Amino acid sequence: MKALVLERVGELSLRDIDLPSDMGPDDVRIRLHTVGVCGSDVHYYTHGRIGDFIITAPMVLGHEASGTVIETGARVTHLRPGDRVCMEPGIPDPTSRAARLGIYNVDPSVTFWATPPVHGVLCPETVHPASFTYKLPDNVSFAEGAMVEPFAVGMQAAKRARIEPGDTAVVIGAGTIGIMVALAALAGGCARVLISDLSETKLAIASAFPGITGINIREGALLDRVLAETGGWGADVVFECSGAAAAMRDLFRIVRPGGAVVFVGLPPDPVAIDISGATARECRMETVFRYANVYDRALALIAAGKVDLKPLITETFAFPESIRAFERAAEARPGDVKLQIRIDMESE
């Protein structure tokens, strides 16, 4: 079957490749409809590795996916052929200790689409466990379905923050993930979100959502702005979504005493943080690794109209244009939030 294959760093091809297609009794076969281009896909393309995950053999990219069920295994009861679905790309060992604790995202044996050596789904068909396949509500499009994966990171961050109604949150970094976190924080009860970046274009996209205010750190220190906005008290929750070492310096002065700092961004190298500053205010620190048990809730929020991810889809490329989509993504244009690739041109 034809797939978008990362052959080696910097080299993509759209070519035939043998992919596993055996169905188990708990699996579904899915015709892929839309797949989003993620920062991690682009990083494998441009750098050939993320941390210890290194491209050593050709790998199919893509993990933010929606599609249509075309076959169900004998034991599958909650899905039928024809169902429109989106898929969670990380599959844990269901009998593992982490899975039994409900933290299956940190199961050391988890396999995740487009994370070497596991192939992704920029291809016409895939087989997936039914329990990690979610039916799309009728009013949620395939394009929105493919946005659930990055939004799930925001959901996980909001969950880990333990937001209380009326909280003020600061989100550092208005990239795709920062905006997803800001939207999940609002849906989770924050009264307002202050979001920072150096890019005016990114801030304009984020601030177009009601409840989100952009702060350009080129115009002054984020700390001063947050203190001015909160009467000198600080934010209830600070979400670090830039991964930039420079953003770590003031984290524990931006958060209020007793507030929470949630680490989402992944700095490429270890960074120093102010433990004494955090301790003096008894700040809670949380980390986020992907997500667990949030897909249903993400879909419920989208279906209820409480979260609108549609404005974040910048452009959609047809499957034969996949390589062009990745070249464009590698340019990292500030106006591009999410590029998507549409594989199935027949279903609506």
Q: Which two tokens stand for residue 197?
A: 């970046």
Residue 135 or 297: which CB sits closer to ligand NAD? 297
Q: Is 38 in the site for Zn ion (CB under 5 A)?
A: yes
Q: Which residue has the tokens 């079957």?
A: 1
Stretch that binds Zn ion, among 20-28, 60-68, 103-111, 167-175 (CB under 5 A): 60-68
Query: First vs last Cα of the chain: how many Å apart?
Result: 22
Reduce the DSSP state of residue 87 to 3 states and report it.
strand
The item of ligand NAD, Zn ion, none sharing an interface with residue 340, based on CB under 5 to 8 Å by kind, is none
Helices 148-161/176-187 angle, 10° precision: 60
Q: Is 214 in the site for ligand NAD (CB under 6 A)?
A: no
Shortest spacing between CB 259 and ligand NAD, in angstroms: 18
Q: Is 242 in the site for ligand NAD (CB under 6 A)?
A: yes
Interface pick for ligand NAD out of 27, 197, 236, 250 (rule CB under 6 A): 197
338 CA to centre of own chain: 11
Q: Which two tokens stand for residue 55?
A: 């491209």
Rounded Cα distance between 227 and 205, Å, is 24
Sign, CA torsion 294/5/315/135: negative
Element holding 109 (H helix, E strand): none
Instruction: Report which of 61, 23, 32 is spatially closest to residue 44, judged by C-alpha positions.
Output: 61
| HEC letters along 81-105 | CCCEEEECCEECCCCCHHHHCCCHH
Q: Is 177 in the site for ligand NAD (CB under 6 A)?
A: yes
Residue 64 or 167: which CB sits closer to Zn ion? 64
Q: Is 92 in the site for ligand NAD (CB under 6 A)?
A: no
Shortest spacing between CB 179 and ligand NAD, in angstroms: 8
Shortest spacing between CB 150 and Zn ion, in angstroms: 5
Interface pick for ligand NAD out of 92, 145, 175, 214 (rule CB under 6 A): 175
Shortest spacing between CB 222 and ligand NAD, in angstroms: 7
The site string for ligand NAD over 131-170 (x = CB under 6 A, - otherwise) reads ----------------------x-----------------
Q: Is 19 in the site for ligand NAD (CB under 6 A)?
A: no
Q: Is 53 in the site for ligand NAD (CB under 6 A)?
A: no
Give residues 319-348 in contact with ligand NAD (rule: CB under 6 A).
none
Instruction: Report which of 290, 313, 259, 24 is spatially closest to residue 150, judged by C-alpha positions.
Output: 290
Q: Is 290 in the site for ligand NAD (CB under 6 A)?
A: yes
List CB contacts of 202: < 8 A, sequence separation 6 or more: 174, 175, 334
Q: Which residues bind ligand NAD (CB under 6 A)?
A: 39, 153, 172-178, 196-199, 202, 217, 241-244, 246-247, 264-266, 288-290
